[in-house]
Amino acid sequence: MLIAILAIIGFLASFYAYYVGKKLADKNYKPACDISKKISCTKAFTSKYGRLFGVSNSIFGIVFYSIIYVLFSLGLFNYVFFLSMLSVLATVYLAYLSYIKLKTFCLVCTVTYLVNILLLFSSYKQL
């Protein structure tokens, strides 16, 4: 059950990131996740690292967490565990980019990082 909850939280965080990315076209829009210069999701989302092959990382998150939810629902825990391992590798890389290269703390990103780590541990326990 924890895996399903984590997948939903990851999906919602990714969807919020997607929403913020779309709303940033409006110059008057200020996302709730932009608290200061050092705590800013906008800085992470709009950086060159916020997209892969021209696609927003948030889209990949929406797809990933949807797949995790479906796989969990089908009882395919081996696949959930494997994908969770890959997501933790991506998490380490993206966290490095956010905290070290961009020097920003992205609240939404950090939520997904924590979800990915918890998914790995939870899916391991399901095996």
Please list the residues that pair with 55 across neighbouring strands.
Answer: 52
For the chain, the average pLDDT equals 95
> How do the domains of the chain map onto residue ranges?
2-21+38-126
Q: With bands split at pLDDT 50, 70 and 90, how would you rate the model's confidence at 27?
A: confident
In angstroms, rounded to a whole number, what is the distance separating the alpha carbons of residues 67 and 80?
A: 9
Position 114 pLDDT exceeds 90: yes
In this prediction, residue 58 carries a pLDDT of 96
In this prediction, residue 75 carries a pLDDT of 96
Residue 48 to residues 45, 54, 58, 124, Cα–Cα distance (Å): 8, 10, 14, 33
Q: With bands split at pLDDT 50, 70 and 90, how would you rate the model's confidence at 25?
A: confident
**Residues 30-86 pLDDT 10s:** 999 999 989 999 999 999 999 999 999 999 999 999 999 999 999 999 999 999 999
The topology (CATH level 3) of 2-21+38-126 is de novo design (two linked rop proteins) (1.20.1440)
Mean pLDDT of the 97-112 span: 96
In this prediction, residue 124 carries a pLDDT of 96
Please list the residues that pair with 51 across neighbouring strands.
Answer: 56
